[in-house]
Every structure is written in C-alpha cells, then in structure tokens.
C-alpha cells in the first residue's frame, strides 16, 4: 500500500497525475456518510457544507503539499445527527455555532502554544494505540457497511486488492465507477435526477448572521466541548504522527495543526459549514489509493467547490446514488492503511499493554482512549503498573 521510502521522503511538489486523482477520493468512506447525515437529518445547507470543505481542502493541499486531509468531526456529527433526529435541540444554526466555537478554541490553543504543551504529555506508545484503534475501528465500520450487500462488497474488495499497487488502472477509479453503477441499477430514479441536474450559480452569504446566543450556547456545550479530546487524539497528535512518518520532508507541528483547525473552522462557520478537522484516517485513505502530494486534496476540494457553486441543489441524490457496500470497502481499506502504520510497538511489555489498552478504548471512544492512555502511561512511569 506504500511507495518506496525514497519516494515518500523526497521534498514534494504537488502533482495531478492519475494516482493523485485516484487518491483524492480515498477519504469518501468517511466524508460521504457524515455529509449525508448533516444534509438529510440536520437539514444543513449542502452549499455551505460543500463550499467550506472544498475551500479548506484546496488551501491545505497548497500549503502542506502532502495529502493532508480535511474531515468532518465525528463526535459532533454523530451527536448532531442523533439529537436532531430525536429532538429539535440541534439545528443547522447550532452546528454553525459549534463550528465557530471549535474554531475559536483551537486557534487559541495553536497560537498560544498550549496544544504542543498538552500533546508533549502524551507518550508515543499511547499515540500508536490511538492510531491502531482508529484503523481497526474504520475497518469494522467498513465491514458493517459491506454487510448491506456482501456480493457487491466482496467483488469490490477483491478488485481493489488486486489493483492497489497498479499505477495504470488506479483502484479508486474502478471503485467509484462500480459504486455509482451499482447504485444506478438499484435506484434508477436517483440516476435520472442526477443526470437531469443543470448548473445554477449559487453565491455564498455570511452564515453567522443566522445564529443566536442560544445556538452558540448549545453548540458549544453539547457539540464543541465534548469533541476536544477526540480532536486532540485523532486530529492533532495522530495526524502529526502519520504525516511526519510518511512525509518527513514536510513535517507538521501540533501547534500548526491546531492553528489550521481553528482557522478552517472559523472560515467554515462564516460560510455555513460544519465542524472540520484533520483526521489521521483521511491521510491513510488518500495514501492507500495512490496520493503522495497535496494534489489529491486540491483535486477533491476543487470537485466539491464545483458541486457547491453549480450543483448543490442535486447533491443529496448524488450521495444517495453511491452503493453503501462499496463505500464500506473504501473505509475498510482506509482503516487497514492506518492500522499498518501503527505497528511499531515498544519492546517494553508494560508499554505494549498500554498501547493495546488504548487501542481497545479507541474502538469505543477516542476521547476516552486518549485519557485512559495518558493515565496508564503515568502509572507505568511511576512503576505502579506491573505485568508478569
């Protein structure tokens, strides 16, 4: 799933070849389900969601020059979708307010250097556990999606595995065509709706005018604050580890990632977007399908910008058209790529125990995994945690 070490350590310049195009869509397994939930359940405007993600991806690709990802914040997305489906507490304005609060918090942590001071307290064997748990969690979620149609999923997985290292016929292109084709056969009315769509220019407006103090209170307390440990573990520490391991010629820092998270959420809130982060699984997804430079996020971001500006009215049908079992295959392979990069276990038995315990907690909740790993590491450091 990886190129030679020389290719990964070479100082990168952005490319836009077929492998970057294939790798650009390697993170759809995470993006599409959350985007659909926000649009269909929370009633978030597809225009603001796609525009904010697209702009953030293009900027990250130009700045980092690696497949630096932009993903929905998972805990906020899950809470928003479930609460909006059950009560009227969470609305589109609440989600925008959560994005604003998230931006302020992470920008402050990045600019003051507090993000680095916090992450310096987390040993590497805890970080490895978080990344390993995330990878296995992605694989399990992919299997659950594949379970919706095992024949489709098995065919897609076999084809993808045979083509993962093929630079002539990128695996992701075939997965995309296969997923759309299967969806078109199962739901021809959706295909007709997508094909019937005509471009119509949609210009942005200042979304912050639509939120009130109540939205800000609910968005901060119910959505933004509970997400902090998860973001610190997955979207600051883990992505720094993943990026610097794969692309040492383009290293990132914890403070830099925190600042980037803050800036893109503040800009996204102004456009009516949802909370975003730099999840480590996103980079694994891009890399697994061939991406090696910032060309991949620029390509995906440009596609999302085009959809937002000209086709945001038909985006629900386009997302619904893609077959879920094939989406599960993409997520499964993304998780495998992420987990493979976290197999550098410590030779110390206690530290390996902390790594595995942290990974197990990460399958349930990354925020709790982060806290559990830090506590266990502290006990191990004081020699209070012993194993035979």
Residue 296 falls within a domain, yes or no? Answer: yes
Contacts of 211 by beta carbon, 8 Å cutoff, 6+ apart: 93, 94, 96, 97, 100, 219
Look at residue 387 in the predicted model and tell me its pLDDT. 76
Look at residue 292 in the predicted model and tell me its pLDDT. 92
- Encoded tokens for 6: 């020389």
Strands 71-72 and 276-277: what pairing? antiparallel
81: left (phi over 0), alpha (psi -120 to 50) or beta: alpha
74: left (phi over 0), alpha (psi -120 to 50) or beta: alpha
Look at residue 62 in the predicted model and tell me its pLDDT. 96
Look at residue 10 in the predicted model and tell me its pLDDT. 56
Instruction: Report CA dihedral (301, 325, 74, 139) to the nearest 10 degrees.
Output: -110
Residue 386 falls within a domain, yes or no? Answer: no
Residue 366 falls within a domain, yes or no? Answer: yes
Look at residue 198 in the predicted model and tell me its pLDDT. 77
* Domain of residue 280, residue span: 5-381
Residue 35 falls within a domain, yes or no? Answer: yes
Residue 289 falls within a domain, yes or no? Answer: yes
Residue 387 falls within a domain, yes or no? Answer: no
Look at residue 54 in the predicted model and tell me its pLDDT. 96
Q: Is the pTM of this model over 0.85?
A: no
Task: Give me the number of domains the chain comprises.
Answer: 1
Look at residue 2 in the predicted model and tell me its pLDDT. 47
Look at residue 356 in the predicted model and tell me its pLDDT. 92
Residue 58 falls within a domain, yes or no? Answer: yes
User: What is the crossing angle of helices 124-146 and 324-340, to 10°?
Assistant: 160
Give pLDDT tens digits for 314-343.
Answer: 777 777 787 888 888 887 887 787 777 667
Look at residue 324 in the predicted model and tell me its pLDDT. 83
Tally the C-alpha atoms within 13 A of residue 2's C-alpha that lie toward its C-beta: 18
Residue 220 falls within a domain, yes or no? Answer: yes
- Which residues face 276 on adjacent strands? 72
- Encoded tokens for 286: 């891009």
Residues of the chain below pLDDT 70: 1-12, 40-41, 75, 78-88, 165-170, 226, 341-342, 366-367
Look at residue 86 in the predicted model and tell me its pLDDT. 55
């Amino acid at each position: 799933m990886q190129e030679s070490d020389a290719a990964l350590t070479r100082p990168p310049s952005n490319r836009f070849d077929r492998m970057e195009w294939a790798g650009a869509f390697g993170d759809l397994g995470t993006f599409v389900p959350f985007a659909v939930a926000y649009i269909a359940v929370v009633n978030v405007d597809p225009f603001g969601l796609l525009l904010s993600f697209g702009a953030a991806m293009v900027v990250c690709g130009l700045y980092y020059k690696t497949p630096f990802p932009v993903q929905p914040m998972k805990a906020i997305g899950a809470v928003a979708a479930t609460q909006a489906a059950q009560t009227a507490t969470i609305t589109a304005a609440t989600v925008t307010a959560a994005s604003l609060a998230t931006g302020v918090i992470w920008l402050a942590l990045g600019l003051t250097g507090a993000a680095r001071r916090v992450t310096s307290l987390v040993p590497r064997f805890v970080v490895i556990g978080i990344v390993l748990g995330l990878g296995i969690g992605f694989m399990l979620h992919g299997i659950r999606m594949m379970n919706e149609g095992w024949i489709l999923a098995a065919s897609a997985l076999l084809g993808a595995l045979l083509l993962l290292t093929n630079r002539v016929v990128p695996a992701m292109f075939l997965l995309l065509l296969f997923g759309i084709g299967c969806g078109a056969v199962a739901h021809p009315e959706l295909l007709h709706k997508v094909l019937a769509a005509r471009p119509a220019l949609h210009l942005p407006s200042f979304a912050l005018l639509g939120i009130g103090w109540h939205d800000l209170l609910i968005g901060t307390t119910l959505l933004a604050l509970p997400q902090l440990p998860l973001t610190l573990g997955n979207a600051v520490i883990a992505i720094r580890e993943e990026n610097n391991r794969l692309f040492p010629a383009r290293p990132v820092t914890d403070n830099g990632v925190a600042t980037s998270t803050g800036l893109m959420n503040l800009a996204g809130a102004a456009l009516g977007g949802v909370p975003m982060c730099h999840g480590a699984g996103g980079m694994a997804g891009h890399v697994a399908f061939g991406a090696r430079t910032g060309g991949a996020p620029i390509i995906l971001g440009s596609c999302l910008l085009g959809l937002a500006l000209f086709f945001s009215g038909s985006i629900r049908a386009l997302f619904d058209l893609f077959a879920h079992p094939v989406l599960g295959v993409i997520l499964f392979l993304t998780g495998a790529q992420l987990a493979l990069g976290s197999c550098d276990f410590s030779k110390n038995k206690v530290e390996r125990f902390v790594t595995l315990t942290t990974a197990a907690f990460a399958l349930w909740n990354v925020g709790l995994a982060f806290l559990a790993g830090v506590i266990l590491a502290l006990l191990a450091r004081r020699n209070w945690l012993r194993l035979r």
